[in-house]
Amino acid sequence: MIELINRILKIFLPPRCIKCGAILSDDDGLCPECFNQLNFITAPYCYKCGHPFEEVVNKKSQKLLCGRCSKKQKTPFRLNRSALIYDDISKDLILALKFMDKTENAKTLAKWLCMAGYDIWQEGADILVPVPLHYKRLIKRRYNQSALLAKELSKLTGIEVDYTSLIKHKSTKPQVQFSGHERVKNVRGAFSVKQAEKIKGKSVVLIDDVMTTGSTLKECAKALKAAGAKSVDTLTVARVI
């Protein structure tokens, strides 16, 4: 019955490209033209921070590390992964999900998150934690785009989402207003863990739309680590390179 309803709906409401609106024969999210414009982050990239390499340094090595990561600099993260390079195309898709109520985009973006997270799933992950919004911002926007992504990703991976343990207790100004060190200062101490017992000993995957300088994700990771998380990975739709 549900299948029949879906078939009828498809005739009247055919799936459309989430970018340009072209009618699609399958519910793939994007039409081939728009899909070809996307810049996916593909190997080779740093095994730890996920930063793409311009050329292969050593083809034999499976787990290449960038200069910064091979110096073993202190970071609260185990692995960082992103599906796309943040450019005009990925920016449009993300902004539509974030501000224009295009919540259906989350389904397609989560498919890409699932693929980009390959190494994370291999290392082992216990829970998905979306980067939280301050409650005042949540009321204004009505939904948290990262939580929508985590929900869709959970359907694909079977990994549970923890929506409530990590909270943003401090209201901050939007990060886009700042650059570099000001971003770090803006979000410092803004996140905390409410139910440490749900985080303790867990391999946590932080989910967000974009990784810019990583200061928001770092603050979240610090709070999760302080609550006893075994490891923290980050998985974002796009990343500024």
Give me the residues that bind Zn ion (CB under 5 A), please.
17, 19-20, 22, 31, 34, 46, 48-49, 66, 69
| Separation of alpha carbons 213 and 225, rounded Å | 19
Q: Where are the beta strands (DSSP E) in the chain?
A: 80-85, 127-130, 160-161, 166-168, 191-193, 203-211, 231-239
Comparison of 85 and 226: residue with beta carbon closer to Zn ion: 85
Which letter does DSSP use for residue 125 in this model? Answer: -
Asked if residue 114 lies in contact with residue 151, where contact means CB atoms within 8 angstroms, the answer is no
The nearest distance, CB 127 to Zn ion, in angstroms, is 24
If the CB atoms of residues 199 and 235 are measured against Zn ion, the closer one turns out to be: 235
Closest contact distance (angstroms) between CB of 157 and Zn ion is: 24
Identify the DSSP state of 176: G
| Alpha-carbon torsion (58, 62, 66, 67), positive or negative | negative
2: how many CB neighbours lie within 10 A of its CB? 6
Between 20 and 240, name the residue whose CB sits nearer to Zn ion: 20
Alpha helices in 32-75 (DSSP H): 32-37, 67-70
For Zn ion, give the closer residue by CB, 31 or 207. 31
Q: Taking the complex as a whole, how short is the minimal distance between the CB of residue 76 and Zn ion, in angstroms?
A: 14
Nearer to Zn ion, 81 or 98 (CB): 81
- Other beta carbons within 10 Å of 130: 24
Could you tell me the smallest distance in angstroms from the CB atom of residue 30 to Zn ion? 6
Q: Minimal distance in Å, beta carbon 29 to Zn ion?
A: 9
Pick the closest to residue 129 from 19, 195, 66, 206 (CA basis): 206
Distance in Å, CB of 18 to Zn ion, minimum: 8
147: which DSSP letter?
A: H
Nearer to Zn ion, 46 or 94 (CB): 46
